Structure 1
Amino acid sequence: MQLRRLCIRHFRNFEHLVIDPFPTPAVIVGENGVGKSNLLHALRLVLDPDLPDRRRYLQPEDIHDRSPSLAEGAEVTVEVELADFEDDPDARSELDGAIISLSPLVARLTYLFRPKQSPARLLGEEPAEPLTPNDYEWTVYGAIDPSNTMLAAKRYAAMSVLPALRDAEHDLARPDRSPLTSLLRERPPAQANIDKTLKTMRTAREDLGRDANVQHIADLIRSRVATMAGPRMNLDPSLAFAGRDEDLLRSIRLFIDASATRGIDRTSTGTANVLYLALLLERLRLRRSATDGEDTLLVVEEPEAHLHPTLQRHLFAHLLGQPNRLVLTTHSPHIAAVTPLPSMVLLLDTTTGTQARVMAPGLLEQHERADLERYLNVNRAEILFAQGVVLVEGVAETYLLPALARSAGFDLDAHGIVVASIDGTDFAPYAKLLGPSGFNRPFSILTDGDATDTEETEIYRREPGLRRALDVLKILADDSVAEPFRDALNALRQQDLPTAGGPRDGRHNLVVTAAGFGIFVGPDTLETDLAPLLTAEMTAAFNDLATGARRRQNFAQALEQVAASPSTEDQRAGVISRIERDPVSKGRFAQRLADHVEQLNLPDRIRQLLGYPSDRPVASSDLLALPGCGPVLALLDDLRRRYEHLPLAPTPMQLGARTPPAQVPANEPG
C-alpha cells in the first residue's frame, strides 16, 4: 500500500496544500517554520492509531490565519489517498468503504473537524454566538460521505512516528517501548526452547532461594517484624527469586559487542539511534510480510540528529534506495544530496500559506536525472534549501559574484542566495529541476557568450551562449518567445564577427530578451568581460600571484587593450592565456581578485563607467548596455531589486526611500 495523494485545508501553515503524487519513499525539506512537523501531524490526524483522540480536537491556534476562525465556524480537512493494495485482500476488506476508484484501485480517508451538526444548527436556528472548542466534533470518514465513519481503518493503514532527538538509549532499555521486544514477538524462539529455559530458570531460582544466607536474611526479617508488630499480626515473611514466564522475552537486552559485555549506554547517541531505526524497520518488514500484518507508514523527524555527515549519506542512501514506506523530514543537505529526485518534497512559504512542490513525472530524461542526482552532492544540495539560486559555469563566478555584491553593500548570503557552479554549460536540466514544472525555485543563470569565430567554427555553432539561453527559454517561456528568439539567433549567426571587435549587429536585443527571463549572457568569458570594470583590481590580483616585472607588464598591457572595448578575439586570448599559465590559474586568480573587489565601491565605479552623477538613477537597461561587464552587473541589479528593493547603484534618494524587503515570489522571471 502506498500513500498516493495528500490534501490539507485550513490547518496551521496550510490554507490549501496538495501533494500529488505523494512519493514513496518521501523526503520533506524546507526552511525552519515552513511546516514540516505540521504536515506530519496532519497525517497523524488520519492515520496514527497511537495519537490520543483528545489530540484530534483542534484548538484556535491550529486554524490557518486566513481561514474562518474557530469562533467563526472553521472547518479543517486532511485527505489521504491510498493505492497499490489490489493484491492485499485484508486491505481491500478494511478499506472497502473508502474506495473512490476501481482502476486504479484508490481509497480515500479524510479527517474532518467542524462544528457539531445539530439539527438546530443545520436549520440555522441557533443564535449566532462565537463558537468554542466544545462546539466542535471530529471524524475520520471514507470516500466522500462524512457520515461514512471509518475510525478503525487507521489500525490497518497506519503510521508510526519517530520524533526528532529521540532518546533511543532510554527506549531500548524499556521493554514496553523497545522495538527489539516487538521484533522478538514477531519471530519468537521455538516453544520447546522457551519451555526448557523457563524450567531451568524456575529450578535455578528455587535453588538460589534455599541459600543459607538468603534464609538467614528471611529469619532476620521475620524476627524484626514480630518484635515490632507483636504476635497478633498474622505475617510470616519469606524470600524467593521471582520471575514471570511472560517476562522472558522482555528481559532480553541489546549489546553492541559480540561478547555481550557493552550495553547501549556504552555507545554514542547517534549509534543508538541507528540501532533503534534498524530494529524498527526490521519489525515493520516482518509485520508487512505476516498474513494479518498492517502496512505501516514510518515517519522519521530530522533523522540527522547526532549522526556524522558521512554516516548520514551512507545510511540514507541505503534506506531511500529501498522499496519502503518511509517519510523523512530533514534540514540536512547531506540527506538531500542522496535523495532520489522523485522522492523530494519541497515545502515553500508563499503569500497564500505553505505550498509543496514535487518533481513532475517524466520531467527529466533518465540520463538528466542521473546527472542531476550526482550533481546534488553535499556542496550543491543547498540549492534546494536556498531562497534564490544563481547557476554559473565554473568556480571563478562563485568567488566573484558574491564579492561584487558585497562591494555594493548587498550580501547574497544574508538573503539565502546561493551561487552554484554546474561545472559546465548545459543549464537546461537545472532549469527543468528548478523551473515551474520542477521545484519552482527562483533562479538566474550567468553564462559566457563565447562569441568567437574560427575557421573551424560552423555557422550553426556560433554564439553558443545565446544557444544556451534558447535551450532554457524553451523551458521557461512559451513558443511566442522561444520561436522568434530562435529565428533571430539563426539570422545573427549568418554575420561574421566584426574584424575590429565588438558584437554582431542585433545581438544586444537577444541578450535583453534572455535577461527578462533571468538568463544573463556575457559577450565572451568572465575574466575578459570584467576587464572594463575591474582593470585596476585585475592587475593587482595578477601581480599578487605572478612573479617577474616583464610578465606583469605584459599582462597589464594585454588587459588595457581588452578594457578599451571593443576588443578582438586575439586580444582577449592574450589575457586568458596569461591567467591560465602557472602559477596563476583561473580559479586562483578569481580567489585573489575577489579580495581586491571587496575593497572597491561598486556603485561609484558603475557611475564612472556610465558618466552618471550621484543623483541620476541607474536603470537595469543602462547596466545591460555596458560593454563586457553589462550582463554581470545586470544580474546583480536584478537580484538586489528583487530581494532588497534597491538598484545595484542606488541614488541617495533611493536609499532613503527604500521599503522593507518583501517575500520573493517562488518563481518569477528575472
Structure 2
Amino acid sequence: MLKKIFIKNYKVFRNFTLDLNPGMNVIVGDNDVGKSNVLEALNLALTGRLNGATIANELSPFLVNQHATREYIAALRVRGPAVPPEVLIEVYFDDTEDLAALKGDNNSLREPAPGVKMRIAFNDDFVDEYAAYITDPQRIAWVPTEYYQAQWLSFAGSAVTQRGVPARASLIDATAIKLQSGADAYLQSIIGANLAARERVELTRSYRSLRETFAEIDAVRDINTKLAGDRGDISDRDLTLSIDISQRASWERNLVPHLDELPFQYVGKGEQSRLKILLALNEKIPETHVVLVEEPENHLSFTSLNQLVDKISQKCEGKQVLVTTHSAYILNKLGLDELILLSASGGRRIVDLPSSTVDYFKKLSGYDTLRLVLAKRAILVEGPSDELVVMRAYLDAHGKMPIADGADIINVRGLSAARFLDLAVPLRKPVAVVNDNDGDAGKMAERYADYTAHDFISIHIGTGEQNALEPQMLAANGRQRLNEVLGKSYTSDEELLDHMIANKTTTALAIFETSYPITMPEYIRDAVAH
C-alpha cells in the first residue's frame, strides 16, 4: 500500500504532500485544484508513463509549475544564469521487509522509507547548448525541457524499472478510454475463456463463407458488374467490392457489442461512460494494486451511478483506490471516513480533523461538506432567513448573485459554524461567518477566537442592542420602508417587529425580492464586501 505522495513543481503543485488511506480514498476539491494531477502524478511515479507513453516522450514545459517557471525566468533576467526548476514526484510505501531494496532517505522529506520517485530535471550533458540558449534571457518564455531528462529512482538511490516497482497502478478515466478498444479487450477475454479450439475454427470458416454470400446479393452483383465495365478507367485489374477476410480483419476484431440490440456507439453517453469504466476495471484489476478512477459520475443518473459505485467497491475490494469526484452521492456511498479535502498546498484527510467535526458531518444529511470544499468562498449564516438577506446584500454590493462569483452562502444552523471552519482551516478556504449577537457580542466573538488568527476567516457579528436579524433590519431601514417592502401598515415598531419575527422566512423573502432600495446592517455589508 502507498502511504504518502510528495509532489514538487508538477503542474498546479508547487510543494504538495498527501497522506493516503490504506483502502478507499475519495478526493474532493474545487476545479483546477489538482485532483486529476494527483492521479496522474501517482500513475507516472508508479508506471513511468504519461498519457500512455513513456515520460521521456512526453516532456513538455507545461508539466512544470507555472510559478516555478516565472521565478526561473525572472532569475535569468535579473541575475543571469539560473538552474531550470526540477519536477519531483515521490511515492512512499508501507515499510515492510520485502521492500528493503527500495528503502533509503534519498527523498525530499529525508525519511528512511521504501519508495520510488520520478525526477525530471536538467541534463548536464546539455551544458553547452543551455549556455547558448540563455544568452538572450528576454526571449525566454518557457522552461527548456528539451534539455531535461527523466530519472526513475528508488529511495535507496538506484534506478528502477516497471518490474522493480512493487505496486502496479491503473488509471481509469472514462473520457480518455476509446470505446471500441475497451469493448474489444473485454470481448477478447470472453472469447478466449469460452471458445474451444474447434469452435474457433468453425467460426473462422463461417466468417470466410460470408464473402461468398455477400457477393451473391443482387445489389452487390450489380455494383461489381458496373465496376468491371469501368476497367481501365480506374485500374487495369478487376475491381470488386467484398468483405475483408484477411488476418488483419479476422472475425474477432469485427464483432461489435450491442446493448438491447443497439450498437455500442449509439448508446447514451451515461451508459457508455459507465460501461467504459467497468470494462477497464475488468481488464486491469486482476494485476493491479492501486486503482485510480477519475470522476466516475460524468453523464450518470442517480441509479446508474449507484450501480457503478457498487461495482467499483466490489471489484476493488482489498486494493488501494483513489477516486476523484464532485458528487456528494459518491462521498455518501463510499464513506465520509475516506474523504480527502484537496487544496493546492496539500490534502487533508477528514479523519485527521477533530473527532467532533467528523461526527458532525457524518450525521449531517446530504453531506454539505462538499459545498464548502467546492466553493471559491463561503459565507456561513444561521438560518434560511439570514441566507436570503445575505444573498440580497451580495447582489446589491456586486450586481450579481453569489454563485456567479463561485461564492456559496451556507445555512449552518447556528452553533455548527465552527465545524465548517475546521474544514476551512486546512484548505485555507476564504470564509465569512455572519452571526446575531444574541445579546452579548463579546461572548459571541470569543466563540470564534481560535479561527480569527487566520487571515482568510472573518467573523461578522451584529452590534448594538439589536440581538437578531429582524431588529437589525428594522434599525437600518425604518418602519416606513419595511412596511412598503412587506405590504403592511403597522403604526409602531413593536407591532412590525413582532410580525417580522413571527414570519421570519416570509419577511426575508420579501426583502430579497423587493424593488425598493434596502439598507443592510453594517456587519452584513462587511461580510459580503470581499
Which moves more between the two structures, 312-321 or 529-538?
312-321
1:358 aligns with 2:348: yes
CA distance in 2, matches of 1:212, 1:448: 82
Change (3 A) 1:407 1:107: same
Is contact 1:139-1:151 (8 Å) kept? no
Aligned to 1:254: 257
**Could you say if the C-alpha distance between residues 338 and 441 of structure 1 is closer, same or farther in structure 2, counting changes exceeding 3 Å?**
farther
Equivalent residue for 1:295?
A: 289
Matches for 1:149-164 after TM superposition, within 5 Å = 149-153=159-163, 157-163=167-173
Aligned counterpart, 1:532: 475
| Distance apart, 1:375 and its partner CA | 3.9
What amino acid is the match of 1:396?
Answer: S
Moved more, 261-270 or 181-190: 181-190
Cα gap change, 1:557/1:528 in structure 2, threshold over 3 Å: closer, same or farther? closer
Match of 1:98 among 99, 102, 106: 102
What secondary structure does 1:524 align onto? coil
Give the CA deviation at 1:60.
6.9
Is 1:593 aligned to residue 511 of structure 2? yes
Offset from partner CA, 1:360-379 (integer Å, 9 cap, x none): 644232x6425425647387
Taking the aligned partners of 2:448 and 2:192, their CA distance within structure 1 comes to: 59
The answer as to whether partners of 2:101 and 2:156 remain within 8 angstroms in 1 is no
Q: Could you tell me how far apart the structure 2 residues matched to 1:265 and 1:389 are?
A: 42
Q: Are the counterparts in 2 of residues 59 and 133 from structure 1 also a CA contact under 8 Å?
A: yes
Q: For residues 630-665 of structure 1, what are the alpha-carbon distances to aligned partners after superposition, in whole Å with 9 as ceiling and x for unaligned?
A: xxx23532552xx2xxxxxxxxxxxxxxxxxxxxxx
Seen in structure 2, the aligned counterparts of structure 1 residues 380 and 9 have a Cα distance that, compared at 3 Å, is closer
- Specify which structure has the higher proportion of strand: 2
* Alpha-carbon separation, structure 2, partners of 1:308 and 1:234: 56
- TM normalised by structure 2 equals 0.73
Equivalent residue for 1:636, pick from 515, 520, 525 = 525
Is the Cα–Cα contact under 8 Å of residues 103 and 115 in structure 2 kept in the other structure? yes
Percent identity between the two aligned chains: 16
Which of 413, 431, 448 in structure 2 is aligned with 1:443?
431
**In the TM superposition, what whole-angstrom CA distance separates every residue of 1:81-131 from its partner, at most 9, and x where no partner exists?**
243585xx9xx4xx5532349xx995321111222245x96xxx9995446
**Larger RCO (alpha carbons 8 Å, 6+ apart):** 2
Alignment partner, residue 473 of structure 1: 449
Partner of 1:307: 300
Q: Give deviations 1:404-463, integer Å, cap 9, x for gaps.
A: 3433457562543322102343333222222x2x43312222233434xxxxxxxxxxx6
Amino acid at match of 2:512: A
Is there any run of 5+ residues in structure 1 with no aligned partner, and where? 288-292, 349-353, 452-462, 479-514, 545-551, 561-574, 607-628, 644-670
The structure with more radius of gyration: 1
Is residue 72 of structure 2 the alignment partner of residue 68 of structure 1? yes
Q: Which residue of 2 aligns with 1:425?
A: 415
Partner of residue 108, structure 2: none
Question: SS where residue 265 of structure 1 aligns?
Answer: helix
In structure 1, what is the equivalent of residue 185 of structure 2? Answer: 181
SS of residue matched to 1:137: strand
In 2, Cα distance between the equivalents of 1:183 and 1:211? 26
CA deviation vs aligned residue, 1:601-638 (integer Å, no higher than 9, x gap): 63xxx8xxxxxxxxxxxxxxxxxxxxxx5xxx235325
Q: Provide the residue aligned with 2:459 in structure 1.
A: 518
Q: Distance in 2 between matches of 1:338 and 1:439?
A: 23
**Distance in 1 between the 2:61 and 2:17 partners?**
23
Q: Which residue, 490, 504, 508 being the options, matches 1:553?
A: 490
SS in 2 for 1:427: helix
Secondary structure of the corresponding residue to residue 276 of structure 2: helix
Matches within 5 A, 1:245-644: 250=253, 253-257=256-260, 261-285=261-285, 287=286, 293-300=287-294, 302-308=295-301, 315-316=308-309, 319=312, 325-330=320-325, 340-348=335-343, 354-359=344-349, 361-365=351-355, 368-373=357-362, 375=364, 377=366, 381-409=370-398, 413=402, 414-434=404-424, 436=425, 438-451=426-439, 469-474=445-450, 518=459, 520=461, 523-536=466-479, 537-543=481-487, 552-553=489-490, 556-559=492-495, 575-576=497-498, 578-579=499-500, 585-596=503-514, 599-600=516-517, 602=519, 629=521, 633-637=522-526, 639-640=528-529, 643=530
- Residue 107 of structure 1 aligns with an amino acid whose one-letter code is P
Distance 2:117 2:14 in 1: 16
Instruction: Please name the residue that 2:137 is paired with.
Output: none
Counterpart Cα distance in 2 of 1:127 and 1:211: 66
SS of residue paired to 2:476: coil
RMSD across aligned positions (CA): 4.8
Output the CA distance in 2 between the equivalents of 1:212 and 1:150.
55
- 2:507 counterpart letter in structure 1: F
After TM superposition, give the deviation of residue 151 of structure 1 in Å. 2.7
Asked if the contact 1:428–1:472 (Cα under 8 Å) also holds between the matched residues in 2, the reply is yes
Give yes or no for contact 1:139–1:149 (8 Å, CA) kept in 2.
Answer: yes
Q: Matches of 1:183 and 1:85 in 2, distance apart?
A: 40
Contact 2:90 2:117 in 1 (8 A): yes
Q: Is the 8 A contact 2:385 2:508 kept in 1?
A: yes
How many pairs were matched up? 490
- State the 1:272 CA deviation: 0.7
1:20-169 to structure 2, matched below 5 A, reads 20-21=19-20, 25-48=24-47, 49=49, 50-59=52-61, 62-66=64-68, 67-68=71-72, 72-84=82-94, 86=96, 92=98, 96-100=100-104, 107-118=114-125, 128-130=131-133, 132-145=144-157, 148-153=158-163, 157-163=167-173, 165-166=175-176
Query: 1:394 Cα shift?
Result: 0.7
